[in-house]
Structure 1
Amino acid sequence: MRLTEDIKQLIVKCIKGNLSPVEKNALSSWLAESPAHGIYLDDLLQKEDLVRDLRQRISLEESDATDWSERLKTKTLATIHAQEKPVRINRIRRLMPYAAALFCVVLAGLIYQFIWKPSALNANRIVLHDVELPNNHTEIRLSNGKVIQLDNEKGALVTSGGLKYADGSLIQSTVPNTDLIATVNTPAGSILQITLADGSQVTLNAKTSFKYPLQFAKDQRLVEVDGEAYFKIAKNKKVPFRVKSNGQLIEVTGTEFNVNTYSKQKSSTTLVEGSINLSANGQQIQLKPNQQATLSSGRLSQKSVDPHNYIAWIDNKFYFNETDLHTALQTIGQWYDLQIIYKNNIKETYLYGEIQRTKSLSAVLEILKRSNIQFELIQEDGVRKLIVSN
């Protein structure tokens, strides 16, 4: 194959590793014109003279403008003729085309690694204009191995007397007992209300896992939550209600509170009504209404707050009141199932306002852009990502 001087120079630069982006594109286009043929030439690799001469291609092409592929062939045959018997000349002539093919194969591998491979990765990047709310179904897993998909349109779930919807339609016929445990997993973009066997009500936010018995034991009411949930506990002074979440234990007899454990590094419990005792890592505190407990780095702390800032989600709203941008976007990411990526150091920004969570993501972002924040929405390898800059 005859090569132009431009292509020869590109090959030299490729092997030396100093191709510019423009040159990479030019060499990539040339390679695409004729795909390299992969040939297994174990016999060739044993011929040290040929391999050495193959490496001399680059230096030979600098001597003059004559086609260096032809000159290499001439030089190689002369070398072989001087050192070996004539019977081997035909064998070497037969192998010369394969030597060139081997060179192409090695070169193609280098180009794939440094030029084509990054381009293939970029092909998985899709720019999105909007994200509608996910339409995934809430799932219940029972300890007997059964998996049940819930109808999101039917709303609340009632546990007493078996699994059923609030309208009375039966989901799963079960014999109430203390051994059967249910684990509910809510997908992004949805909330679910559950009435437990004792009459307590639990509202689960998106991407939350909630584990509970279909029938409480006489001497214990214990559940587990990972994500975010709002509790309205039925009063029973004899049998306290306990919630396990992210290394802490909450104990109540009758009250309303919100638990948020989305972040494993920092979880919060906000009390709306009644009182609760909260313990973690040997520490214990008692909360009164309008107080919030935080577990961070293994330590418990408490402060006074406005509960409305933390429970607006149960009315399907984003509520921001001097909310820092990172916290606000974490909340939005949970709801729309997004990975949040910060393109650079974002300046300290606080948000104010109330947004319905039924809106499309583009509508929500348009509101946030008023704070001089820029967004790029993409999908990469099946993951939706929101890139943030200002």
Structure 2
Amino acid sequence: MNSSKTRLEYLFNCYNDKTATKEEEKELFQLLNEATDKELSEILEERWKTTQADSSIFTSETSDKILSNILNRHKAGEGEAFKKRKYWGPAKLLAAAAVLIFLCFGLYFSLPLFTVSEQSLAENEMPNDADPGTSKATLTLSNGKTIVLNAAGKGVLIDDGNIKVNQSDEGQVVYEVVKDKAVPGTAVNTLVTPPGGQYQIVLPDGSRVWLNAASSLKFPNAFTGGARVVELSGEAYFEVAKNKGMPFKVRSKLGEVEVLGTHFNMMSYDDETSMKTTLLEGAVRVKNDRDARVLKPGEQAILNQGGMVKVTDDVDPNGEIAWKNGLFQFNDSDIKLVMRQVARWYDLNVTYEGEIPSKRLTGKIPRDAKASQLLSMLEYSGLKFRIQGKNIIVIN
């Protein structure tokens, strides 16, 4: 084994362990440019196998298919994935190396470090594209006034003597109730995120809510009476302020979640067939007209229209809130579920050309990637896409 290949393997390991210095990262990408096709292929294959053995992200069959697609993407179709490999030219193999690093180590660096592949991936870029979502929303007050929110704005939005609404430097809306001047709970406000937007809000009781794309949250100016009640359409992550004397309730089209003080994620989009509530901390009760179940941390409740509440612990709670932390995370997800998430975040429609693929996807991709970059990542699993106007077309 020559010294440059040994050094490249060493740098790969440092990068994987998050111990690489800035100088070593720079050297790694320089060696990727200088390495021969054969050296890259051998190192990529070894690193991929090691990563999968350590993390068990994919099944062995899926892992082999993805690796083969990376090494053969422009040389063989899916049916030829396990034929003898032919090495690519330097530009395309460098692109494969960058994608492999992105897939294996995506959690360890932000997208700007992905620039090593931009020139090489340019050959495969789609003629149309869409930027990722941003922090944006509209706040409709109880008097009908609408305020456009974005991350750039800050300062006092409302101060009527009873309620003060600020937008913080971090870009979140903060409601403050002036002590002893709470207005009736019938004064309802609505926070709405469009497709391609998300936002954070601190409710009048101090509870914190992260609202995902294409979602809405209705809440009063001040919580009064025996319960704190909000209404959700879409998806949100809640960190509820504790108040044993006033339970916190989240109502949706399919059911209700009741808590005293806890952290949980709730997904109830109109285009999904079920409401899912995932508990990270504390305890919640999920109920509808027919059934009610109490969750423990690490459990998820699935509620279908008119059905019973199903509880499972076969769930990754951190995966369920990956969106809040800037990631798409797919865990054996079918393509239709994946594309619904993609459509909401990029404000695009999805159509299928031919039969809907039966593939299931597992992996993590930063949500600050452009649509074409994300779709390029997904294509390494054997899928094909194109962007046409406001549509993503899945080709089979």
| Structure 1 pair 219–293 and aligned structure 2 pair: CA distance change class (3 A) | same
CA contact (8 A) 1:317 1:355 kept: yes
Please tell me the residue identity of whatever aligns with 1:301.
Answer: K
| Ranges in structure 2 where 5+ consecutive residues have no aligned partner | 1-125
Q: Indicate the residue corresponding to 2:131 in structure 1.
A: 132
Q: Indicate the residue corresponding to 1:236 in structure 2.
A: 243
What SS is found at the alignment partner of 2:200?
strand
Q: Which has the higher contact order (CA 8 A, sep 6+)?
A: 2
Please tell me the residue identity of whatever aligns with 1:212.
Answer: F
Q: Indicate the residue corresponding to 1:152 in structure 2.
A: 151
CA distance in 2, matches of 1:156, 1:293: 39
Q: Indicate the residue corresponding to 2:333 in structure 1.
A: 323
Q: Indicate the residue corresponding to 2:322 in structure 1.
A: 312
Counterpart mapping for 1:209-248 below 5 A: 209-248=216-255
Aligned length: 260
CA contact (8 A) 1:138 1:185 kept: yes
CA contact (8 A) 2:277 2:300 kept: yes
Matched, 1:302 2:308: no
Please tell me the residue identity of whatever aligns with 1:286.
Answer: V
| Structure 1 pair 200–129 and aligned structure 2 pair: CA distance change class (3 A) | same
| Structure 1 pair 345–168 and aligned structure 2 pair: CA distance change class (3 A) | closer
| Ranges in structure 1 where 5+ consecutive residues have no aligned partner | 1-126
What SS is found at the alignment partner of 1:332?
helix
1:197 Cα deviation (Å)? Answer: 1.1
| Structure 1 pair 268–214 and aligned structure 2 pair: CA distance change class (3 A) | same
Counterpart mapping for 1:1-390 below 5 A: 129-133=128-132, 137-154=136-153, 161-167=163-169, 176-178=182-184, 179-262=186-269, 263-299=271-307, 300-304=309-313, 305-379=315-389, 384-390=390-396
What SS is found at the alignment partner of 2:324?
helix
1:147 Cα deviation (Å)? Answer: 1.0
| Structure 1 pair 203–238 and aligned structure 2 pair: CA distance change class (3 A) | same
CA contact (8 A) 1:221 1:241 kept: yes
| Structure 1 pair 279–157 and aligned structure 2 pair: CA distance change class (3 A) | farther
CA distance in 1, matches of 2:155, 2:242: 21
CA contact (8 A) 2:133 2:368 kept: no
TM-score by length of 1: 0.61
CA contact (8 A) 2:237 2:263 kept: yes
Please tell me the residue identity of whatever aligns with 1:328.
Answer: V
Please tell me the residue identity of whatever aligns with 1:283.
Answer: D
1:297 Cα deviation (Å)? Answer: 3.4
The C-alpha deviation readout for 1:254-274, integer Å capped at 9, x for no partner, is: 111111112352121111111
CA distance in 1, matches of 2:349, 2:202: 32
| Structure 1 pair 156–331 and aligned structure 2 pair: CA distance change class (3 A) | farther
CA contact (8 A) 1:157 1:192 kept: no
CA contact (8 A) 1:158 1:166 kept: no
Report sequence identity in percent: 35
What SS is found at the alignment partner of 1:365?
helix
| Structure 1 pair 350–246 and aligned structure 2 pair: CA distance change class (3 A) | same
TM-score by length of 2: 0.61
| Structure 1 pair 319–264 and aligned structure 2 pair: CA distance change class (3 A) | closer
| Structure 1 pair 156–330 and aligned structure 2 pair: CA distance change class (3 A) | farther
CA distance in 2, matches of 1:194, 1:144: 19
| Structure 1 pair 316–155 and aligned structure 2 pair: CA distance change class (3 A) | farther
Q: Indicate the residue corresponding to 2:85 in structure 1.
A: none
CA distance in 1, matches of 2:375, 2:170: 39
Please tell me the residue identity of whatever aligns with 2:312.
Answer: K
CA distance in 2, matches of 1:306, 1:156: 37
CA contact (8 A) 1:157 1:195 kept: no
The C-alpha deviation readout for 1:109-129, integer Å capped at 9, x for no partner, is: xxxxxxxxxxxxxxxxxx952
CA contact (8 A) 2:163 2:175 kept: no
